[in-house]
Every structure is written in C-alpha cells, then in structure tokens.
Amino acid sequence: MKNRLKVLRAERDWTQARLASQLEVSRQTVNAIETGKYDPSLPLAFRLATIFGRPIEQIFTPDSAALDGE
Amino acid sequence: MNETIRSSLLTKLCGDMTARDRRNLNRANVWMAVWLACFALSTWLIKGERVAAGPVGWLVAAVPTAVAIGAILAFGRYLREADELQRKIQLQALALGFGVGLFFGFGYRLFEGLGAPQADISDASVVIAFFYFVGLWLGRRRYA
C-alpha cells in the first residue's frame, strides 16, 4: 500500500517524532508506514485521517498489484 | 537499578518505543529478573538439600512458579498495550523462538537415538530464548 504520509507531514513541517506522539505510537512505526514497510491497522489509519483532516483514501492507496488481484 | 533495566538487552533490542511501552516492558523485565533470582535461590536451596522435602520444600519450589505468573501477566500487558508495530515484531519473534524451540526439541530426540548427548528442557529454553532475540533483531532491522 502506498501513502502520502511523508508529503502531508512535510506540508505541516512536523517531525516523525511529533506525529508519532500525536498518534501515540513509536517513531519507528511512523517511519515504517512512511517507507511502505508496514501497513497500519484500520484504527491507526483512521487516527491518521483525523489528524490530517482528510479521508483515508486520500492518504492511502492500494498497490496496483493488489487491485489487479481483485 | 532503573538505568540498568532501561538499558537491558530486551529494551535495546526493541528499539524506539513509546514511554508507555518502555514502562510496561521495564515492568516485565523486573518481573523476569525477580523470577530469575527466585529460581536461582530455590535451586540452590533444593539441590544443596538446604531445605527438607515437606511443606517448606514445596513452598520453596512453588515460589518461582508464582513469580512467573506475575511475569507472564506483565509481559501480556506489555503486548496488549504495545504500539502495533512493536506488537507485530514481538509476536514474530515469539513465533520464531517457539517454533524453532519446539522443532529443535522434537528433532533432537532423533539424534539422541543415534547417540547424541542427552538434552533436557533447559537446553530447549536456551534455543527458544536465542531465537526470540534473533527474531527481535530481525524485526527491528526489517522495519527500521
């Protein structure tokens, strides 16, 4: 799954640590999501959507391979 | 003492953690340290025949198990409340440790039948612990 987390965070000039603190997760988790190594749970994705004030689908997009499999 | 716990191997292997996770993991580490001390003391008392078989001996033997319940509950709380990526890393490490330990335990019996030295459960627990730490290290690297 791809995401725009890094862009959205940069627009607000937030550090990974600050976003992690708001989400109540570790900085490693934010970094792993940003780099696409880890897909967050649905509750965490909703928290991200709330923090950035955007719908989930504007933050996360499925890989084309995942869509092809449907 | 606190600094020692904070810099413990388990805490270091878990890498970046929230304050809540660090607190819960430190609590579990303290329980583990107490269990280890109780187990060593009980072993020293029982193996050295410093306590006689009977109610006192049974009590001495039961103390580490009672403390272990506290350690399991503390680690369970850490896992329940942990940051979701930390929980995933921990579960994968536990699965690796348990899986390798289990198959090592059964597999080694075949070698024992061929004349390899006898192994007991403490040998399997060393394998479990080793691969658990390997799993933590791998998880930390994978999601770094």
The answer to whether residue B87 neighbours chain A at the CB level (below 8 Å) is no
Percentage above 70 pLDDT, chain B? 90
- Identify the pLDDT of residue B1: 47
Residue B50's Cβ-count burial label (10 Å; 0-12, 13-18, 19+) is: exposed
User: Do B12 and B22 form a contact (C-beta atoms < 8 A)?
Assistant: no
Residue B138 to chain A, least CA–CA distance (Å):
13
> Residue B3: what pLDDT?
47
Single pTM value for the model: 0.81
Give the mean pLDDT of A26-53: 95
pLDDT at B69 over 60: yes
Q: Looking at residue A66, what is its pLDDT? A: 59
pLDDT score recorded for residue B74: 97
Please indicate whether, in this complex, the C-beta atoms of B143 and A37 are within 8 angstroms of each other: yes
Min Cα–Cα distance to chain A from B140, Å: 9
- Give the separation between CA B141 and CA B138, rounded to whole angstroms: 5
Mean pLDDT is lowest, of B8-12, B53-57, B67-71, B97-101, for B8-12
Q: With 50 as the cut, is the pLDDT of residue B28 above it?
A: yes
Regarding an ipTM greater than 0.90, the answer is: no
pLDDT for position A70 = 52
Mean pLDDT rounded to a whole number for chain A: 91
Q: How far is CA B30 from its chain centroid?
A: 12
Chain A interface includes B23 (CB < 8 A): no
Cβ contacts of A7 within 8 Å, gap of 6 or more: none
CA pair distance B28, B50, nearest whole angstrom: 30
| Mean pLDDT across chain B | 88
**In terms of pLDDT, which residue wins out, A7 or A69?**
A7
Kindly determine whether residue A28 and residue B15, on different chains, have CB atoms separated by under 8 Å.
yes
Please state which of the ranges B3-17, B50-64, B108-122 shows the lowest mean pLDDT: B3-17
Rounded Cα distance between B7 and B4, Å, is 5
If phi over 0 gives left and psi between -120 and 50 gives alpha, with beta otherwise, what is residue A53?
left
